Structure 1
Amino acid sequence: MDIGMVGLGRMGGNMALRLARGGHRVVGFDRAGARGEVAELETVQSLPELVAALPVPRVVWLMVPAGAPVDLTLDQLLPLLQPGDVVVDGGNSNYHDSERRAARCSDAGVHFLDCGTSGGVWGLQEGYSLMIGGEAGAVALLRPVFETLAPAPDRGWGHVGPSGAGHFTKMVHNGIEYGMMQAYAEGFAIMQRKEAMALDLAQVAKIWQHGSVVRSWLLDLAADALEQNPTLEGIAPYVSDSGEGRWTVAEAIELDVSAPVITLSLLERLRSREKDSYADKMLAALRQGFGGHGIRPG
């Protein structure tokens, strides 16, 4: 199958390579130009060239940043497409935006699939977990693509529901990821603080990788990180977020669902960015005020 890939950044480029190595013809376009390994792919210099290079029905897969860049790409892309063509948004868009974009594409006779994509930089070797929302017919048309991108043709991907469902499930997936990461981080911090035990944290992580109920790919990554850098020297205690955790918490509130682990994990990420916490200064002042507790000079 011929696929047009818009966005050849690190993840988009790796996905394009996996498709190409799986026997598909991939034509790529990236405003910043192809980078790194993607240089081995067939690339073009504009969206009109990309569309012209694809047979009908065209399949165009977007891997661009969530938000305005997706809408801008659709503004330029839709006038070039024909009824029956398919657009896939494989980025981390908000599912409300995906519902809106699906309706817009439908008005033009173009199918729109929202594909929540997990796998990160390891997806080229391991395959991607794909959560797909949209029309069943369009999903069936792209089945060979999904089977190639997934870890295996019969697992790691699926049509999860109507338009928006793919990005909705990916949003919740990332919220769960926040909680898992926070639990690992806190657990290893407790062991690191117990200096009297002189624990080898890389060793502990490797033990847990086999047979333990807490084994996971995240634990594998922790074991690798600790083996390479046991003290995590040179890593700033600053944790970014790309939006999905915030959206998950907002959705939980909207649905009256208690989600304290995901919520507190998000708040901890925000807290990690406070180099000079006014709130902590206020806590210290209050403790001195009611209990006479000492204040450390700043």
Structure 2
Amino acid sequence: MLRRHDCCDTQDVIPEESSMEFGLVGLGRMGGNMARRLARKGMRIALHNRSHEVSAAIAAETGHLACASLADLVAALQAPRIVWLMLPAGEATEQALQALAPLLGAGDLVVDGANAYYKDDQRHAAMMAAHGIDYADAGVSGGVWGLENGYCIMFGGSEAAAARLQPYMEALAPTPTEGWLHTGPVGSGHFVKMVHNGIEYGMMQALAEGFALMKNKPGFDLDVGAIAELWRHGSVVRSWLLDLSADFLAQDPALETIQPFVADSGEGRWTALEAIEQGIPAPVMSLALMMRFASQGKGDYAAKMLAKMRQGFGGHAIKGTEK
């Protein structure tokens, strides 16, 4: 027997016996590729995105079920359900949780798998628990390469939630036994991911500064692309970040077409705040965050102040702007 969901496109007809329990909300770069990886592992899930065209396109590609609304997605899933959110932290996630709370039932599980502040997870878990809904938080690393290589997932929640999520973790991770970890109670997954991203900031900044020193050294004419490739083999600084650097430096060592602007996702800020709250010195991660702010022009006024002060006490020349 076949059944057709109201939320599906006309081509979405699925066997009665292939009922789904898992829905994915938010199909950006990470969420979309996670849906594709689950399809490659033989799993069929329900999808919802703010733009239904995106859901429909990924559904046509993967065989998943495209749903036009959160209500349609919940209706398409067999209870007890799992609804995994891949939405920006803040208002988008808050609105989705508020909308899901009355739609889901006791025993259902909500997972926030995007970048989120662990203290928000603790608040969200309490909110969902008032409706009898379980909650888990998952920090996901792997970027656009996760589709091919698998994702590194650190997640917090109850033991029962961990058991329910295990098949999906095994499918999303690089291997069924590697690349995923139940880190502890709610909030612990995003806390670990927060620290992970703080470390990432520091590693990226160190590599960037080191290559800037070599690129600008007069007299040596150093081939930074060749040096990056050299360090990939046997060096103590070899890493995936170095692999990526070697790839793009081989193509464009001068990087003349790149604007010196580096965004920050919020994880670095939360890491710096945590260091302050705990009184734990974390100067590398904190300064790496400050350098991102500087790249965004947020240090420009201070730099102008410094130039004017030097002119005031020493008569030093300043560089003006052309009108």
Q: TM-score by structure 2 length?
A: 0.88
- Per-residue Cα deviation, 1:56-84 (whole angstroms, up to 9, x for no partner): 21111101111111111111112111111
Structure 1: distance between partners of 2:297 and 2:124: 36
In the alignment, does 2:235 pair up with 1:212? yes
What residue is the counterpart of 1:88 in the other structure?
A: 111
Which stretches of structure 1, 4 residues or more, deviate above 6 A after TM superposition?
none
Q: Which residue of 1 is the match for residue 223 of structure 2?
A: 200
Structure 1: runs of 5+ lacking an equivalent: none
Q: Name the CA distance, whole Å, in 2 between partners of 1:150 and 1:34.
A: 28
The residue that corresponds to 1:12 in the other structure is 31
Aligned partner of 1:294 in structure 2 is 317
| 1:29 corresponds to 2:48 | yes
Task: Give the superposition deviation at 1:38.
Answer: 5.5
Work out the number of aligned pairs and report it: 298
Change (3 A) 1:275 1:78: closer
Conservation of the 8 A alpha-carbon contact between 1:9 and 1:34: no
1:142, 1:27 → 2: CA distance?
16
The SS at the match of 1:116 is strand
Call closer, same or farther: CA 1:236–1:38 in 2, change over 3 Å. farther
Task: Kindly indicate whether residue 258 of structure 2 is the aligned counterpart of residue 258 of structure 1.
Answer: no
Q: Which residue pairs with 2:271 in the alignment? A: 248
Which one-letter code corresponds to 1:27 in the other structure? A
Q: Which residue is equivalent to 2:16?
A: none
CA–CA separation in structure 1 for the residues paired with 2:108 and 2:53 = 25
Whether 1:270 aligns to 2:293 is yes
Query: In structure 2, what residue type is equivalent to 1:258?
Result: P
Deviation of the 1:48 alpha carbon: 1.5
**Mapped partners of 1:114, 1:147: distance in 2:** 16
Contact 2:48 2:67 in 1 (8 A): yes
SS across alignment from 2:110: strand
2:170 to 132, 147, 158: 147
Is the 1:8–1:38 Cα contact (8 Å) retained in structure 2?
no
Q: Which amino acid aligns with 1:28?
A: L
Given that residues 89 and 115 in structure 1 are in contact (C-alpha distance below 8 angstroms), is that contact kept between their aligned partners in structure 2? yes
Q: Quote the sequence identity (%).
A: 57
Counterparts of residues 97-176 of structure 1 (less than 5 Å):
97-176=120-199
SS of 1:246's equivalent in the other structure is helix
**TM-score (normalised: structure 1):** 0.96
**RMSD (Å) for aligned C-alpha atoms:** 1.6
For residue 48 of structure 1, the aligned residue among 71, 80, 85 is 71
Once the two structures are TM-superposed, the CA of residue 26 in structure 1 deviates from its matched residue by 1.3
Report the equivalent of 2:207: 184
Label 1:259 to 1:276 Cα distance change in 2 as closer, same or farther (>3 A): closer
Contact 2:173 2:179 in 1 (8 A): yes
Deviation at 1:15, TM superposition (A): 0.4
1:281 and 2:301 aligned: no
